[in-house]
């Protein structure tokens, strides 16, 4: 659900950005037609828009930071569990005569079944 909201928010912000960007291009093309007062008014509107978006983006940044920290903690916990399992596992003995492959196991069975005279 969080990923969907994040993607949806990104799409909405991108759409708003594009519409504002197109608005700026039109404004730049028609700059000769605007008075300096109108230009200042439009700049003020644009600045207000960006201030509103900063609040939204700050919340998204906080969300993403928390999600990243949670994933890092999960990975650390998993690594600790793996280390603990390795420590608790019995170590194979160096000089152990236990067969290592199925072929060696079969060979040992054949030797045991032979009768010595």
> What pTM did the predictor assign?
0.42
pLDDT digits (tens, 9 = 90+) for 2-43: 555 566 666 666 667 666 666 555 555 555 677 888 888 989
Task: Please report, rounded to a whole number, the percentage of residues in the chain having pLDDT higher than 90.
Answer: 27
pLDDT at 66 over 80: yes
**Residue-level pLDDT at 39:** 86
**Residue-level pLDDT at 9:** 63
DSSP code, position 95: T
**Residue-level pLDDT at 116:** 57
Q: Where are the domains of the chain?
A: 43-88
């Amino acid at each position: 659900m969080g990923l969907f909201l994040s993607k949806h928010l990104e799409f909405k912000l991108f759409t708003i950005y594009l519409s504002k960007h197109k608005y700026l291009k039109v404004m730049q093309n028609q700059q000769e037609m605007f008075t300096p007062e109108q230009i200042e008014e439009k700049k003020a509107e644009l600045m207000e828009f960006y201030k509103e978006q900063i609040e939204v983006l700050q919340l998204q940044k906080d969300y993403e930071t928390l999600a990243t920290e949670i994933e890092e903690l999960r990975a650390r916990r998993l690594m600790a569990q793996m280390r603990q399992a390795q420590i608790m596992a019995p170590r194979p003995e160096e000089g152990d005569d236990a067969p290592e492959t199925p072929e060696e196991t079969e060979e040992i069975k054949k030797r045991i079944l032979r009768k010595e005279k």
